[in-house]
Amino acid sequence: MQRLLNLSKLSPAKALLLCMGIGFVLCLPGLKLGLVADDYMHVAVLEKLLPLGGPLDLFDWAPGNPEALQPRIAHGPYPWTTTPNVRVVFFRPLSSALIALDHALFKNCVPMQHLHSTLWYLLIILACHLLYRRSLPGAVAFLALLLFALDETHLFAAVWLANRNALVAAVPALFGLCAHVRWREDGWKPGLPLSLLGYGLGLMGGETALGALAYLAAYEFFAGPGRWPRRLAAFLPATALVLVYLAAYKTMGYGASGSGFYIDPIGEPWSYLSKAPGRMSALFGAKLLGFAADLWAVGSFIRPLAVLSGLAGVGLVVAILKAHWSLVTAGERRLLSWMVPGAVLSILPVAATVPTSRLLLVPSVGVCALLAVVLHAWWQARKAVAVPRWEAVACWFLVAVHLVVPVAVWTGTSVVFSVVGRKMERDALSPQTDAAMAGASRFVLLVAPDPMVNVYVPIIRAVTRHESMPDSWLIVSPSPFPHRVRRTAPNRLEVEIVGGSLGSQLADFLFSNGEHPFRAGHKVALAGATITVLEASEVGPTKMAVEFDRPLEDPALRFLSAKNGYLERMPLPAVGETMEIPAQRSLISSLGRP
């Protein structure tokens, strides 16, 4: 720890270059990542292979319009259980435009697209450097910036192209915050217009910018110079900008509703308020103690632990800070007076979705400053007096979690993510999948619980081989439970989920919130087929009939099953016969309800 703090004697410029260099090295494995999952969907949209959005609207997953959504359900790859009026569409024109630009310039050189993301990560390190150096002593400012550069919760924003929008939104907004602080504290006149420009660009990048603007509110409320009228006047321009943005956002139909993944805080306030506290605590547990927020999705049994980790983390940091408050300088206290509330406020927007550690990009700006102050105060205290054993153990734990573990997480996760991406592509293009799909235009996956297979295979093939999307891609059941399939007519099958139902796994909730599950008798018309719910539990359908407009042996119709990631033809029972399909679990399909 002392050797680390000795590096703080470097000049601010050299300390910044060192942290940016560390950030660059951490991003290096990501340069080999290639395209993964949603990246293929973005390319398919840009090449007009999928009717989802456009070059400035790549995050239009579900428009909230039944007429516009129906073709995506009828022909696939959206599930037939999709709520017709579900809305999952985000206003991210700048992020979309940058993806489109990458595709135009570096279509055949994906590492250059990843290098583009790396540059955004270096820029956010620079923005944090400007914020920390203004109020923190050299050692603490360096430690805060190092903690931020190493933070493993930033990984997906830095290495996954589809998640770059978080950086594109946060970086301009944070530079806008820097300009605002300089305007208020130094009288720098260009600061006001430049701050508004930064906020505007950030909001064009994505909703993550709202988290950065939370720091502005906290700054003016808790630390801004001057009396209240002056602080309010300084805050009003940004407030007006946000109000115009939110009004336009809603008017143009952006946002999320009807999805189990996302809650609309304005349209569904009670649902949001009931879930936000637990989710926020889980996110703080991830940021302070390293209890991965992604475990929230494993099931309800682990969520109390996630919430407790947040409470424990907050309690631990507060106890250590309180014990050594006398060693905290005036500059540190002033910065914490608005950065800590800013971090809390910045979590409010992301509490509208299922907790994952990658949501912590903006909250980590304030939390890293807090951790740097806490660890530095503890280290200074232990050199002068004997600190309690529990405190020493706790602080060394924090050092390990935030300065040692992240290096392994960055490297390991990048490698694993790359392996997953390459396996997806390899299986989608495998000879087995080629043989299974050859000669047909309409495909049916009776049981396909792995989204990496049941959604992305036709998209990967279309993007990689420039094939047309299938005329229809029907996933009858994405459930991981055993199934019983009975053929009742030449063109009709009955599919029963044994011991389970649709709507019981996390993957079922992206385009449905489960509040209005399908009941017996409900029918869904698809391209060349009709699904009728025969039986249903309180959770969702347990037995469905699938009736096609032609015999099942028609050569245009192909039944597929997944095996180790690739697809193969599925033999069908004769009329009047039944076949059993064993449970087919995958990591994602085994995750619990939101």
Q: Is residue 554 part of a domain?
A: yes
179 and 258 both lie in a single domain: yes
216 and 328 both lie in a single domain: yes
Q: In the predicted model, what is the mean pLDDT of residues 168-195?
A: 96
Dihedral, CA atoms, 401, 407, 410, 416, nearest 10 degrees? -100
Residue that is written with structure tokens 């490698």 in the block: 415
pLDDT digits (tens, 9 = 90+) for 134-158: 888 888 999 999 999 999 999 999 9
Quick check: bond before 470 cis, omega within 30? no
Residue that is written with structure tokens 């952006």 in the block: 254
CA distance 143 to 371: 9
Q: In the predicted model, what is the mean pLDDT of residues 527-544?
A: 90
pLDDT digits (tens, 9 = 90+) for 341-370: 999 999 999 998 889 999 999 999 999 999
pLDDT band at 9 (very low <50, low <70, confident <90, very high): low
217 and 158 both lie in a single domain: yes
pLDDT cut 70: percent of the chain above it? 95
494 and 367 both lie in a single domain: no
Give the pLDDT confidence score for residue 8 in this predicted structure: 59
463 and 365 both lie in a single domain: no
Give the pLDDT confidence score for residue 299 in this predicted structure: 76
Number of domains in the chain: 2
Give the pLDDT confidence score for residue 586 in this predicted structure: 61
Per DSSP, 85 falls in state T
Q: Is residue 343 part of a domain?
A: yes
Q: Is residue 82 part of a domain?
A: no
Listed residue (492, 462, 477) closest to 581, CA to CA: 477
- Decide: 42 and 99 in contact? Cβ < 8 Å: yes
Angle at 412 between CA 406 and CA 413, to 5 degrees: 85
- Decide: 43 and 463 in contact? Cβ < 8 Å: yes
pLDDT digits (tens, 9 = 90+) for 414-441: 988 888 888 889 988 999 999 989 888 8
415 and 508 both lie in a single domain: no
Give the pLDDT confidence score for residue 563 in this predicted structure: 76
Listed residue (376, 317, 324) closest to 344, CA to CA: 317
pLDDT cut 90: percent of the chain above it? 58
Q: Is residue 7 part of a domain?
A: yes
Residue that is written with structure tokens 């049916």 in the block: 444
What is residue 98's three-state secondary structure?
Answer: helix
Mean pLDDT for the chain overall = 89
DSSP string, 56-74: T-TTEEEES-HHHHHHHHH
352 and 395 both lie in a single domain: yes
pTM beyond cutoff 0.75 = yes
478 and 406 both lie in a single domain: no
Give the pLDDT confidence score for residue 6 in this predicted structure: 60
Give the pLDDT confidence score for residue 290 in this predicted structure: 92
440 and 404 both lie in a single domain: no
What is residue 256's three-state secondary structure?
Answer: strand
- Decide: 470 and 441 in contact? Cβ < 8 Å: yes
528 and 569 both lie in a single domain: yes
pLDDT digits (tens, 9 = 90+) for 552-561: 999 999 998 8
pLDDT digits (tens, 9 = 90+) for 364-374: 999 999 999 99
Among 330-339, 403-412, 451-460, the minimum mean pLDDT is found in 451-460
pLDDT digits (tens, 9 = 90+) for 445-482: 888 887 777 788 999 999 998 888 889 999 898 888 89
Q: Is residue 84 part of a domain?
A: no
pLDDT band at 400 (very low <50, low <70, confident <90, very high): very high
Domain boundary pick from 367, 398, 419: 419
552 and 570 both lie in a single domain: yes
Q: Is residue 47 part of a domain?
A: no
pLDDT greater at residue 451 or residue 487: 487
- Decide: 589 and 505 in contact? Cβ < 8 Å: yes
Give the pLDDT confidence score for residue 256 in this predicted structure: 83
Instruction: Judge whether residue 592 has pLDDT over 60.
Output: no
- Decide: 359 and 353 in contact? Cβ < 8 Å: yes
Listed residue (163, 92, 172, 156) closest to 124, CA to CA: 172
Q: Quick one: tokens of 19?
A: 């942290």
CA distance 479 to 590: 9
Per DSSP, 448 falls in state -
DSSP string, 379-441: HHHHHHSPPPHHHHHHHHHHHIIIIIHHHHHHHHHHHHHHHHHHHHHHHHTSHHHHHHHTT-S
Helix axes 93-106, 110-135, angle to 10 degrees: 140
Angle at 283 between CA 281 and CA 286, to 5 degrees: 115
Domain boundary pick from 419, 454, 485: 419
CA distance 458 to 78: 12
- Decide: 80 and 524 in contact? Cβ < 8 Å: yes
pLDDT band at 3 (very low <50, low <70, confident <90, very high): low
Q: Is residue 122 part of a domain?
A: yes
**CB proximity list for 184: less than 8 A, separation 6 or greater:** 191, 219, 224, 225, 234
Q: In the predicted model, what is the mean pLDDT of residues 64-81?
A: 83
457 and 393 both lie in a single domain: no
Distances in Å between the Cα of 502 and the Cα atoms of 379, 507, 517 are 54, 10, 9
Count of CA atoms in the C-beta half-sphere (13 A) of 293: 25
Q: Is residue 69 part of a domain?
A: no
CA distance 141 to 137: 6
Domain boundary pick from 419, 452, 483: 419
Quote the domain boundaries for residue 478. 429-581
Give the pLDDT confidence score for residue 514 in this predicted structure: 63
